[in-house]
Chain A
Amino acid sequence: MTVDYHAILPELILAGTIMLVLVVDLFLPARLKWGSMPIGLIGVLGSLVAVLTLLGDERATFGGAFVVDNFAVLFKVFFLVAAVIVLAVSRHYIDQPGYYQGEYYFLLLTSFLGCLLMPSSRDLLMLFIALELVSAPGFLMAAFRKWTVTGVEGGLKFFLIGVLSTAVMLFGMSLIYGLTGGKTRLDEVAGALGKLDASQEAMALASILFVVVGFAFKVSAFPFQFWAPDTYEGAPVPVAAFLAVASKAAGFAGLLQLMFVAFIGQHEFWVPIFAFLAIATMTIGNLVALQQRQFVRLLAYSGIAQAGYILLPFALVTTDQAVNQQAFASATAYILIYGIMNLGAFAVAVALSKRSPRLLISDFAGVARVAPFLAVGMTLFMVSLAGVPPAAGFWAKILIFGAAISRGEVLGPLLAAIMVVNSVVSVFYYLAIARQMIFQPLEDTTPVRTPVLLAGVVGLSMAALLFFFLLPGTFSRLADISTLVA
């Protein structure tokens, strides 16, 4: 068997960078420990260049278990850009006494290696290992503030629930392996599941449910959402950004392939489950978010609500391929736009965390007077998360809404209506942040020093959101990525 090294070049470059970060850290003196970050950054950019050379290619290697296509390339570009942003945001936050910087960057990059593998994995085994490679360093990074009670509690909760759901998912995968007669490739699994008789089909449906549990935890869907607020609050803010964006997007990248490729034949069984998950997740996320006083907790509940919106297209699957492709494209677009606006919001939170370490929403009063740039950025991110123009979040919501309406029957418009009601509710808490920053009197006159890296990240995210808002035509290119939907 020959290996297509060009196809796995981005992963190889990142893997090399990870080892380099680990070794170089040994030789860095204490005050230069942050030096791992630029090394990681260069490696991530190198990997990004390698991904861009694969643009438009269709490659398969390792017997079809690892595939590079438009879907994979799009997600890889997204993950690497997210890696650049999380690295940039971490630089000043982590450079404080008590943090193990070299090990932190090592774990962060290892998690991103899992993210890169995820959209290319077309095999149950690869999907499982990629998901674990994203999660395991995440468990450890979440507990990095081990001198605080919240840090340890959040990390432990994340770990215990994560391990439990992983075990359930792996059990489901093992049952599918048995039922399909030893198939692991996603397209072969789909074929074998279609040929089962009625009694074995019931077993297969239960196994699919088990597999969904593992991913529902990863994307913090109801009823596996309650770890998220505690974990995000206890973790270092850049780690919370990583968990809320990259780790969640990786979970969705895996879930999209599983549901739209491997388990598509059983959609009549799982469509009602996803409809329930989507409604419950977005409603609970939004209602609890209304009552939050701490900003990172608010973002956690907002992230749960947003996961509900992304789960909605899964409930739109029918036997019509065109409808499925539209649903697939709208979910992908939402994940990517969600990533940009959430990373921006976390970057502002990191910038303000030096001034008010507890990040209470009341601490943000009048910040526009001392940090106008951050306040404008935050307002745009909040507007985008709420799905109101002028930001790309508006188009992301419209795409899902359009997919739901064009599916028709009762379920599509019903889900669309519930989504609109939820979006209206979310406007209250998103815009409350903007109001707090702009219209409330300033209480704490300490000036805010924004490092260049953070300002750059905030500016870049704002530019991206405005760009996609003004040029919605870019979304029509998404049809190219849904070719893998059967």
Chain B
Amino acid sequence: MTAQEYAFAVIAAVGSISAIAVVTARNVVHAALYLVVALLSVGATFLLLGAEFAGWVQILIYVGAIVILFLFGLMLTKAPIGRDTLDNTHRWVGLLVAAGVFAGLAFLIQDAFPLDAEPFEVFHGSTSVVGESMFRDFVLPFEAISFLLLAALIGAIVLARKDEGN
């Protein structure tokens, strides 16, 4: 195994454990903090693959912004933060489905990409390459997404606004 593969094994283990902890944590704030670790390890995986842009965006946006928003959301909406507020009566069904999907996909993926297969050519997605293709080949999806985000923003304000009268 190369150094890269050792690093991946460590990152994958940490990420998986914290991902499980996100759904098993009894406290919402703890779950959000575990999510930080899980998302950091996803970002680290991208960096390991040489996709520097995707890696840093993952860390900046998800860790830096989205989880922080979660925590602010929990604080400002006075959501029940204590123990046992996350309990779900369907947890065994959920566990069964998750285990089944995991087993099926693990089997299919290791069948399609066996460990001794020829490794893929690693594509170095440097920021300039990503930027160029985003604003040249993918400018139409980029503009469409801008409309999507604008609509989400405005719609969320409408729904969250407190009205007088009604």
Residues of A within 8 A of B (CB): 1, 3, 8, 15, 18, 22, 62-63, 65-66, 97-98, 100, 103, 106-107, 110-111, 113-114, 117, 125-126, 129-130, 132-133, 136-137, 139-141, 143-144, 146-147, 155, 179, 199-200, 202-203, 206
Contacts and interface: CB of A to CB of B under 8 A. Distances in A.
Given A106-B151, A107-B155, A8 B112 contact: no
B141 A125 contact: yes
A65 B140 contact: yes
Contacts of A62: 137, 139-140
Interface stretch (B1-9, B21-29, B67-75, B102-110): B102-110
A197 B132 CA distance: 34
Given A18-B147, A129-B148, A98 B105 contact: no
B77 interface: no
Interface stretch (B10-18, B36-44, B58-66, B156-164): B156-164
User: 4 closest Cβ contacts across the A-B interface?
Assistant: A140-B155, A203-B112, A147-B166, A200-B112
Contact of B158 (A15, A103, A139): A103
B147 A103 contact: no
A1 B136 contact: yes
15 contacts: A1-B137, A22-B154, A62-B140, A98-B165, A100-B158, A107-B155, A110-B148, A110-B151, A111-B151, A114-B148, A129-B141, A136-B155, A140-B151, A200-B113, A203-B112
B140 A199 contact: no
Given A97-B165, A136-B155, 10 more contacts: A98-B163, A110-B151, A129-B144, A136-B148, A136-B151, A140-B152, A200-B112, A202-B111, A206-B105, A206-B108
Contact of A126 (B108, B109, B140): B140
Contacts of B151: 106-107, 110-111, 133, 136-137, 140
Contacts of B145: 129
A110 B147 contact: yes
A111 B144 CA distance: 11
Given A98-B163, A140-B159, A106 B147 contact: no
Nearest to B107: A202
A4 B149 CA distance: 25
Nearest to B155: A140
A147 B164 CA distance: 11
B159 to A, nearest CB: 6
Nearest to B144: A129
Contacts of A139: 155
Contacts of B148: 110, 114, 129, 132-133, 136
Contacts of A199: 111-112, 114
A137 B155 contact: yes
Interface of B: 104-105, 108-109, 111-114, 136-141, 143-145, 147-148, 150-152, 154-156, 158-159, 163, 165-166
A290 B140 CA distance: 45
A431 to B, nearest CB: 39
A113 B147 contact: yes
A239 B113 CA distance: 46
Main secondary structure of the interface of A (DSSP, over half): helix
A293 to B, nearest CB: 27
A113 B111 CA distance: 41
Contacts of B111: 199, 202-203
Contacts of B114: 199
A277 to B, nearest CB: 20
A107 B105 CA distance: 38
Contacts of A100: 158
Contacts of A206: 104-105, 108
A141 B163 contact: no
B138 A125 contact: yes
B145 to A, nearest CB: 6
Given A113-B147, A114-B144, A146 B159 contact: yes
Contacts of A126: 140-141, 144
B64 to A, nearest CB: 22
A113 B151 CA distance: 11
Contacts of B155: 103, 107, 136-137, 139-141
B10 to A, nearest CB: 23
Contacts of B156: 140
Given A107-B155, A206-B108, A15 B147 contact: yes
Nearest to B142: A129
A186 B105 CA distance: 24
Contacts of A136: 148, 151-152, 155
B109 A203 contact: yes
B144 A147 contact: no
Contacts of A130: 144
A13 to B, nearest CB: 14
A143 B136 CA distance: 37
Contacts of A143: 159
Contacts of B158: 100, 103, 140, 144
Contacts of B138: 125
A179 B154 contact: no
B56 to A, nearest CB: 20
Contacts of B104: 206
A62 B141 CA distance: 10
Nearest to B160: A146
A1 B155 CA distance: 35
Contacts of B144: 113-114, 117, 126, 129-130, 133
Given A106-B154, A110-B151, A63 B112 contact: no
Contacts of B159: 140, 143-144, 146, 155
A129 B85 CA distance: 35
A130 B150 CA distance: 15
Nearest to B123: A182
A103 B154 contact: yes
Nearest to A206: B108
